[in-house]
Amino acid sequence: MKQDMRRSFWARKVAGFIVLAILGIFLFGSIVMLLWNALMPELFHLPVITFWQALGLLVLTKILFSGFRGGGPRMRMRNKMREKWMNMTPEEREKFKQEWGGRCGRASAGGHQNEAADADRRADDNN
């Protein structure tokens, strides 16, 4: 009895996910089609597109701009760096800041902080 309830729960969950995915695809395809047809023919004298062409355009942009894994390369690099940062000790973090601060133009030739850059950074932090 309990096993049947588990199967039923997961079957409903999977069916709900499939329905939501299909609705999402149709919603985003419709939005792209409506926006394209409202703007592109008027602004750039491009043809009106169908719903299926809009879906194709969505797939093409997904492939070109983010690949097949979610987030794209920048997101993966950011997550990797964040994980490394979280695993550093406070001493390692300070050393990292000093090393990379010099590489990014925040330190003068003598290794001391540039006063003008430091003042600009403080002003940005206050805003």
Domain spans of the chain?
Answer: 2-69, 88-126
**pLDDT at residue 103, as a whole number:** 78
pLDDT at 92 over 50: yes
61, amino acid identity: T
pLDDT at 53: 97
Q: What is the C-alpha separation between 33 and 29, in angstroms, rounded?
A: 6
What global pTM score does this model have?
Answer: 0.53
Q: Which amino acid is at 104?
A: C
44-84 pLDDT per residue, tens:
999 999 999 999 999 999 888 876 666 666 777 888 888 98
Residues 29 and 53: beta-carbon distance below 8 Å: no
C-alpha closest to that of 30 among 46, 11, 44, 50: 50
Termini Cα distance of the chain: 61
Q: What sign does the dihedral 27-67-72-43 (CA atoms) show?
A: negative
User: What is the average pLDDT score of the chain?
Assistant: 82
DSSP assignment of 34-87 equals: HHHHHHHHHHH-PPP--HHHHHHHHHHHHHHHH-SSTTHHHHHHHHHHHHHHHH
How many beta carbons lie within 10 A of that of residue 33, not counting itself? 20
